[in-house]
């Protein structure tokens, strides 16, 4: 779902493409999409607009070069999972114990597409330059 959402964005695309792409992957498989959490813009403030919904929505915004935001869908094992927050105020789990998964990328919209800013280096790359 994350890969599909990343592939759906670029200059001129609508932000709603993120939710559509996630739903196109999750719904046929019977997975739920958590609506209580969303991605966000990155800029002068870390969590800033736009909110990036991971379900079908009408939050229309034309993406333009320079936009930076996160795509971070949370999928649940059941289509209608109820969420609870643990006493630590951070951990979120499904009330019925169904499994859930969340992955995230930060994406920059470029003149000719997108760049994923959170791709880890190759395992063979130790960061040292060859000399």
Q: Please count the CA atoms within 13 angstroms of the CA of 30 that sit on its side-chain side.
A: 4
Please list the ranges in the chain whose pLDDT falls under 50.
125-131
Q: Please count the CA atoms within 13 angstroms of the CA of 49 that sit on its side-chain side.
A: 3
pLDDT, tens digit, 9 for 90 and up, residues 97-107: 899 999 999 99
Residue 124: predicted pLDDT: 56
pLDDT, tens digit, 9 for 90 and up, residues 82-118: 899 999 999 998 988 899 999 999 999 999 999 999 9
Mean per-residue pLDDT over the chain, rounded: 91
Residue 129: predicted pLDDT: 40
């Amino acid at each position: 779902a994350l890969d599909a959402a990343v592939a759906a964005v670029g200059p001129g695309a609508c932000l709603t493409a993120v939710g559509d792409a996630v739903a196109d992957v999750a719904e046929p498989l019977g997975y739920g999409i958590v609506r209580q959490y969303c991605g966000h813009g990155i800029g002068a403030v870390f969590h800033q607009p736009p909110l990036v919904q991971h379900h079908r929505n009408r939050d229309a915004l034309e993406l333009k070069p320079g936009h930076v935001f996160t795509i971070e869908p949370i999928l649940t094992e059941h289509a209608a999972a109820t969420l609870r927050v643990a006493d630590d105020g951070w951990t979120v789990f499904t009330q019925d114990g169904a499994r859930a998964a969340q992955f995230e990328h930060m994406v920059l919209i470029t003149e000719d597409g997108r760049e994923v800013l959170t791709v880890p280096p190759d395992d063979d790359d130790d960061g040292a330059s060859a000399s």
